[in-house]
Amino acid sequence: MTPRRLTPALLTLLAATLGLTAPAHAADDEGRLITRNADGAWFLQQPEGTPGQGCVARFTAAKKDPSQLALIGPSAKTPSGALLLHGPRIAAPPAAKEVSVQVQQDGLPPATMRGALMPASGGQSGGFVMIPVGDLKQTMASMRPKETGMTARVDGVDVFALSYEGLDQARSAMLDCLAGKPYTGGKTLAEATSEIRLMGTGTIAGTAFYKGAMLAKKQYPPKGSQRVGLIHMSDEFKQWFETVRQSQKMPDRIPERIAKHFMFATILDDQGSFRFTRLPPGEYLLIADFSYKETVTRSEVTGRTDVFVGNQHIGSNDQVAYWFEDVKKNTTFSKTVHLKDGEALQVSLDKSMLGCFFICR
């Protein structure tokens, strides 16, 4: 079956819809928790004042991969529903662009359909693929409660991978929302997040880069990766860490009260930008860990030239070929910062040989 083409008018509607329903919502409009498991969590967004419209059930992966899947209900601007895929490997064009999307699910033949690459929204890294569906209820009914390793290809290129479970609970909540029933169960995103990490009102944002020489170019962690981490260096964490250090052995399992101190940020652009939000005041350790390119010189003896003076052999010279090769090396560096209550702190997390020329010993 040939996928139906998307009209320019529909692309325009999808672009408008994206601004309302993409996973990048304001902090107080991110929905309520439906269910959470090892793979991630489902949230339901239900706008007030428009019963049955603007419903969004969104799954966010719990792994070091910000991939998301959203079920989008009809709105005042778009009478039909849609599926929205978000991931760091999806391109973000300046305007909506029609594409062919092939979805592969474990044990099922590939399904090919028409979709659209959507412009970036709300400062999120990566891009979005919108797949319109004629009947969202029917589409949800055909979806399995659990998927392992679901992938998507856009115009023949792998751009998305996700494993999830709990769709049966998300489907039930979404059907109630589409019927105009208010969803009062579950916690808000802030409440759910507070269970897995400490919360506050401060922000730490900045850029991470490596500069290997004075005239070398800055090199940044890849956009969409999670190569910048943050540790809240509270008294509780320091006491635990000192105990581990003295034992000289990492524990098999980190207690939940300690795991709350660890956070990772997604690199937002090609200049290594990152952002941590909702942080309590205190001391923090920023850590960058990523690969960079270094050009090295290789040499190889390709032959030998004999040297004669008259008829007498006095020695030989090696014939050497030289070439340059880019190799990947790993770098890890850190920086300690102090955050005040409610402060928006800007930092530069860098490892620069220029800085060491003046400062380092």
- pLDDT for 47 equals 82
The share of the chain scoring above pLDDT 70, in percent, equals 76
**β-pairing verdict for 344-352 and 202-211:** parallel
Compare 274 and 256 and report the one with higher pLDDT.
274
Please list, in sequence order, all residues whose beta carbon lies within 8 angstroms of the beta carbon of residue 221, skipping any fewer than 6 positions away: 208, 227, 228, 267, 272, 288, 290
From 37-51, 100-114, 185-199, the region with the lowest mean pLDDT: 185-199
Q: Scanning the structure block, which residue is given the tokens 């090295």?
A: 296
Neighbours of 218 (CB within 10 A): 15
- pLDDT for 124 equals 60
Contact in structure between 146 and 106 (CB atoms under 8 Å): no
Which two tokens mark 139? 């589409």
CA–CA separation, 233 and 239 (whole Å): 10
| Exposure of 4 in the CB half-sphere (CA atoms within 13 A) | 9
Residue range(s) occupied by CATH 2.60.40.1120 in the chain: 202-358
Q: What residue type is 316 in one-letter code?
A: S
Instruction: Give the N- to C-terminal CA distance of the chain in Å, as an integer.
Output: 68
CA–CA separation, 48 and 62 (whole Å): 28
- pLDDT for 118 equals 85
The share of the chain scoring above pLDDT 90, in percent, equals 30
Contact in structure between 234 and 261 (CB atoms under 8 Å): yes
Is residue 83 very low, low, confident or very high in pLDDT (cuts 50, 70, 90)?
very high
- Residues 99-103, mean pLDDT to the nearest whole number: 93
Q: Helix count (H) and strand count (E) of the chain?
A: 7, 17
CA–CA separation, 111 and 54 (whole Å): 27
From 73-77, 175-179, 316-320, the region with the lowest mean pLDDT: 316-320
Whether 336 has a pLDDT exceeding 90, the answer reads: yes
Which two tokens mark 291? 């690969």
For 284-314, the pLDDT digits (tens) are 999 988 877 665 566 676 667 776 677 777 7
- pLDDT for 139 equals 93
Q: What residue type is 192 in one-letter code?
A: A
Q: Scanning the structure block, which residue is given the tokens 């929302």?
A: 177
Question: CA 40 from chain center: how many Å?
Answer: 13
CA–CA separation, 55 and 31 (whole Å): 10
Q: Write down the mean pLDDT value for the chain.
A: 79
Please list, in sequence order, all residues whose beta carbon lies within 8 angstroms of the beta carbon of residue 14, skipping any fewer than 6 positions away: 6, 78, 82, 96, 116, 118, 130, 132
- pLDDT for 166 equals 94
Provide Rg for the chain, Cα atoms.
26
Is residue 355 very low, low, confident or very high in pLDDT (cuts 50, 70, 90)?
very low
For 117-152, the pLDDT digits (tens) are 988 765 566 789 999 988 899 999 999 999 998 999
- pLDDT for 87 equals 86
Residue range(s) occupied by CATH 2.60.40.1880 in the chain: 8-194
Contact in structure between 117 and 89 (CB atoms under 8 Å): no
Compare 119 and 171 and report the one with higher pLDDT.
171
For 183-232, the pLDDT digits (tens) are 877 666 566 555 556 678 899 999 999 987 777 788 899 887 888 888 89
Compare 326 and 32 and report the one with higher pLDDT.
32
Compare 96 and 325 and report the one with higher pLDDT.
96
- C-alpha pair distances (Å), 97 with each of 72, 90, 117, 138, 262: 19, 12, 5, 26, 38
- Residues 329-339, mean pLDDT to the nearest whole number: 89
Compare 248 and 61 and report the one with higher pLDDT.
61
- pLDDT for 314 equals 74
- Domain spanning 202-358, CATH class: mainly beta
Most confident residue range from 78-82, 187-191, 327-331: 78-82
Contact in structure between 280 and 343 (CB atoms under 8 Å): no
- pLDDT for 89 equals 86
- What is residue 188's DSSP assignment? B
Residues forming a β-bridge with 103: 111, 152
Compare 251 and 6 and report the one with higher pLDDT.
251
- CATH architecture of the domain 8-194 equals Sandwich (2.60)
Neighbours of 52 (CB within 10 A): 14
- Residues 66-85, mean pLDDT to the nearest whole number: 87
